[in-house]
Each structure stands twice: as structure tokens, then as C-alpha cells.
Amino acid sequence: MAVPKKRTSASKKRIRKNF
């Protein structure tokens, strides 16, 4: 994942759908 860990905290579920 090319996203900061701070954003992965709350956007973990959204990042999985985006990536």
C-alpha cells in the first residue's frame, strides 16, 4: 500500500477497495 500509516488507520477498509 502506498499510503501513510496514519491514513491506513481509518481508511484501511477503503484503501483495500481502492487498491
Provide DSSP, the chain.
--S-HHHHHHHHHHHHHH-
5 alpha-carbon distance from chain centroid: 8
Nearest Cα residue to 18 out of 10, 1, 6, 9: 1
The number of residues making up the chain comes to: 19
- Cα distance between residue 19 and residue 8, in whole Å: 12
Judge contact between 19 and 11, C-beta under 8 A: no
| pTM score over 0.85 | no
pLDDT tens figures, 1-19? 566 666 656 666 666 665 5
| The pLDDT value given to residue 7 | 62
The pLDDT value recorded for residue 12 is 64
pLDDT of residue 1: 56
